[in-house]
């Protein structure tokens, strides 16, 4: 099977790399940060500073946390990802400069193996660079405007209603929360980005859901492949590996093609992202919105939105099950807001659920599903406030989660406390959606999805820990995305007063 072949080739490659690395580190490579007078973490050959991660003892994020705490008083620290020197920024002012003020000098993300001829789905907003990114972003940003969100909201509300029905139907004594939440967010993204109803809440064996979960698999072979892509991109290409298997690509490409054909033939319009991109295609703009671009962008919406939103909801439910007072306060707010809007889950009702949104925000602060982001230098620059010169193509790493767990921005940072966002939902230390022109365009959409989901669940059920609930959250070291080791299991009890 290809797994053992890959393992073999990888071993040969690793040996070759050891030789290369010995040469590299005995010459000038090792001195890279020393010569730049940047504090740095002494690397070991081949994996640089990430050896422990490669053998799966520690997660990538726990390594970052270690560097962050060790060099907390510095403005940045130099690390080595394999042989590639990367600047990890620690100082929040410099983070903000890189992301916002000096954006024109750092407008790309470090992208891994973006051979878009081989893998056309990778030609998407998140992976694009330069002028192409800018043009695409200008097309995509308006599709997330509040007017568009408001028009799209009924699609989200339908999925929330379906989530509630599923809970009323299925046994709820011991619910595998991430599994249920993925079914909810798959329906939301399927409906809003692909223009279809995946029916994953009604049917746990829905093909759409199975294909989507295939994309987020974390078995050993997939992890090995990911590491290979990140650390040895040339080997990845050489072996003709793909980020996503051919059947996943074919499945989603076919769906989009069918939906596009159907819309063109019937002229039926729907308030979803697909329609908005289709409208761009039909209008006369300089930007040529091809079917391929519509497809790869629907794909990135799924990739960027599905698991992030479901993880957020899962951690949020965990925290609410643990804190009954908070849960009751939120339920009171939800019931009250629904009452004031005729009992229906409308955009206005959800937009007025302030404490619920604060709770989602606090979840994102503590457990940001994307714990780091990167930038690539695109124009030579001297970091403001320092004399460090950055060259074009130098990679920068921003440890989002480390900053959000720093007591200088959030006192008592390991305590779950939505009230910290009472006065300001977007304080400087909150960067779970990134910041600046390249920040997450889906932030508002994700918030609406999460709050709508919570409103549907909490207005009907109380949440309690069950026998399988872990006493605390411990991140699974095998996953780059944050996951609780041992899963999240909770029990839903129907509210007596509810009919």
370 contact, one of ligand HEM, ligand NAG, none, CB 5-8 Å limit per kind = ligand HEM
433 contact, one of ligand NAG, ligand HEM, none, CB 5-8 Å limit per kind = ligand HEM
Q: Which of residues 121-180 bind ligand NAG (CB under 6 A)?
A: 121-122, 124, 126-127
* Closer CB to ligand NAG, 98 or 349, in the complex: 98
Angstrom distance (rounded) from CA 52 to CA 332: 46
Closest separation in Å from C-beta 206 to ligand HEM: 20
Which two structure tokens, joined as six digits, stand for 417? 């406390």
Closest separation in Å from C-beta 298 to ligand NAG: 11
* Closer CB to ligand NAG, 300 or 398, in the complex: 300
Q: Which of residues 91-130 bind ligand NAG (CB under 6 A)?
A: 102, 105, 109, 111-112, 121-122, 124, 126-127
Stretch that binds ligand HEM, among 49-57, 345-353, 442-450, 463-471 (CB under 6 A): 442-450
* Closer CB to ligand NAG, 345 or 397, in the complex: 397
Mark 74-103 with x for binding to ligand HEM (rule: CB under 6 A) and - for no binding. -------------------------x----
Instruction: Give φ, ψ of 315 to 5 degrees.
Output: -65, -35
* Closer CB to ligand NAG, 187 or 307, in the complex: 307
Stretch that binds ligand HEM, among 83-91, 252-260, 365-373, 464-472 (CB under 6 A): 365-373
Cβ–Cβ under 8 Å, residues 398 and 375: yes
Angstrom distance (rounded) from CA 460 to CA 498: 6
Mark 217-256 with x for binding to ligand NAG (rule: CB under 6 A) and - for no binding. --------------------------x-------------
Which two structure tokens, joined as six digits, stand for 411? 């006192």
* Closer CB to ligand NAG, 297 or 361, in the complex: 297
Which two structure tokens, joined as six digits, stand for 311? 């993880």
111 contact, one of ligand NAG, ligand HEM, none, CB 5-8 Å limit per kind = ligand NAG
Cβ–Cβ under 8 Å, residues 432 and 400: yes
Q: Which stretches of 426-495 are DSSP H helices?
A: 443-458
Q: In what order do the strands lie in the sheet with 84-89?
A: 76-81, 84-89, 395-398, 373-376
243 contact, one of ligand NAG, ligand HEM, none, CB 5-8 Å limit per kind = ligand NAG
Element containing residue 273 per DSSP (H, E): helix 273-282
Closest separation in Å from C-beta 236 to ligand NAG: 12
Residue whose C-beta lies closest to ligand HEM: 434
Instruction: Give φ, ψ of 145 to 5 degrees.
Output: -65, 160
Q: Tell how many helices (H) and how many strands (E) occur in the chain.
A: 19, 9
> If DSSP codes are grouped into helix, strand and coil, which group holds residue 482?
coil
* Closer CB to ligand NAG, 82 or 300, in the complex: 300
Angstrom distance (rounded) from CA 381 to CA 391: 7
Which two structure tokens, joined as six digits, stand for 16? 């070759």
Element containing residue 159 per DSSP (H, E): helix 146-169
- The b-or-e profile of 334-350 (16+ CB within 10 A means b, else e) is bbebbeebeeebbbebb
Angstrom distance (rounded) from CA 291 to CA 120: 11
What is the 8-class DSSP label of residue 465? Answer: E
Closest separation in Å from C-beta 191 to ligand HEM: 12
Q: How far from chain centre, in Å, is Cα 56?
A: 21
441 contact, one of ligand NAG, ligand HEM, none, CB 5-8 Å limit per kind = ligand HEM
Task: Give the position of tokens 């029990």.
Answer: 491
Mark 444-463 with x for binding to ligand HEM (rule: CB under 6 A) and - for no binding. -xx-----------------
Angstrom distance (rounded) from CA 174 to CA 96: 43
Residue in 364, 383, 457, 463 binding ligand HEM, rule: CB under 6 A:
364
466 is in an annotated binding site: no
> How many residues bind ligand HEM, per CB under 6 A?
27
Cβ–Cβ under 8 Å, residues 347 and 158: no
Within 10 Å of residue 55's Cβ, how many Cβ atoms?
9
Q: DSSP assignment of 375-396, as one string?
A: EE--S-EE-TTS--EE-TT-EE
Mark 359-398 with x for binding to ligand NAG (rule: CB under 6 A) and - for no binding. --------------------x-xx-x--------------
Q: Which of residues 239-268 bind ligand HEM (CB under 6 A)?
A: none
Max CA distance (Å), the chain: 74
Which two structure tokens, joined as six digits, stand for 92? 């929040």
Mark 57-96 with x for binding to ligand NAG (rule: CB under 6 A) and - for no binding. ----------------------------------------
Binding site for ligand HEM (CB under 6 A): 99, 125-126, 137, 300-301, 304-305, 308-309, 312, 364, 368-370, 373, 432-435, 438-442, 445-446
Binding residues for heme: 440
Rule CB under 6 A: which residues touch ligand NAG?
102, 105, 109, 111-112, 121-122, 124, 126-127, 243, 300, 303, 379, 381-382, 384
């Amino acid at each position: 099977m290809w797994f053992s072949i890959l393992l073999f080739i990888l071993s040969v490659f690793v040996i070759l790399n050891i030789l290369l690395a010995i040469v590299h580190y005995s010459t000038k490579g090792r001195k890279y940060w020393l010569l730049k007078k940047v504090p740095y973490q002494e690397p070991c050959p081949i994996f640089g500073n990430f050896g422990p991660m490669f053998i799966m003892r520690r997660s990538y994020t726990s390594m970052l946390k270690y560097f962050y705490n060790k060099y907390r008083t510095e403005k940045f620290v130099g690390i080595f990802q394999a042989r590639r020197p990367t600047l990890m920024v620690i100082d929040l002012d410099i983070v903000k400069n890189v992301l916002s003020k000096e954006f024109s000098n750092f407008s790309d993300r470090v992208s891994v193996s973006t051979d878009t001829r081989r893998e056309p789905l990778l030609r998407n907003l998140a992976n694009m660079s330069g002028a192409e990114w800018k043009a695409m972003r200008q097309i995509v940003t308006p599709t997330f405007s509040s007017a568009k969100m408001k028009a799209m909201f009924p699609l989200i509300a339908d999925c929330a209603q379906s989530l509630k029905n599923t809970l009323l139907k299925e046994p709820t004594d011991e619910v595998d929360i991430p599994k249920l939440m993925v079914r909810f967010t798959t329906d939301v993204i399927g409906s809003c980005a692909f223009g279809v109803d995946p029916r994953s809440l009604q049917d746990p064996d829905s093909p759409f859901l199975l294909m989507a979960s295939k994309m987020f698999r974390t078995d050993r072979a997939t992890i090995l492949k990911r590491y290979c892509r990140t650390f040895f991109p040339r080997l990845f290409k050489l072996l003709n590996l793909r980020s996503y298997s051919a059947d996943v690509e074919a499945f989603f490409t076919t769906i989009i093609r069918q939906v596009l054909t159907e819309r063109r033939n019937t002229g039926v319009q729907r308030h979803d992202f697909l329609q908005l991109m289709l409208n761009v295609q039909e209008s006369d703009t300089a930007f040529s919105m091809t079917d391929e671009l519509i497809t790869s962008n629907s794909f990135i919406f799924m990739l960027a939105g599905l698991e992030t939103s479901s993880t957020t909801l899962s951690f949020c439910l965990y925290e609410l099950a643990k804190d009954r007072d908070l849960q009751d306060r939120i339920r009171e707010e939800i019931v009250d807001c629904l009452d004031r809007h005729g009992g229906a889950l409308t955009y206005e009702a959800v937009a007025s659920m302030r404490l619920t949104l604060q709770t989602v925000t606090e979840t994102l602060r503590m457990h940001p599903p994307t714990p780091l982001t990167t930038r690539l230098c695109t124009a030579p620059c001297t970091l403001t406030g320092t004399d460090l010169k950055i060259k074009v193509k130098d990679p920068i790493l921003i440890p989002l989660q480390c900053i959000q767990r720093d007591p200088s921005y959030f006192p008592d940072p390991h305590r779950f406390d939505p009230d910290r966002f009472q006065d300001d939902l977007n304080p400087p230390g909150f960067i779970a959606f990134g910041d600046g022109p390249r920040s997450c365009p889906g932030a508002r959409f994700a918030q609406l999805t999460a709050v709508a989901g919570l409103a549907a669940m909490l207005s009907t059920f109380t949440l309690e820990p069950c026998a399988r609930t872990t006493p605390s959250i411990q991140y699974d070291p095998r996953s780059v995305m944050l996951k609780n080791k041992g899963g999240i299991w909770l029990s839903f009890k129907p509210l007596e007063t509810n009919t």
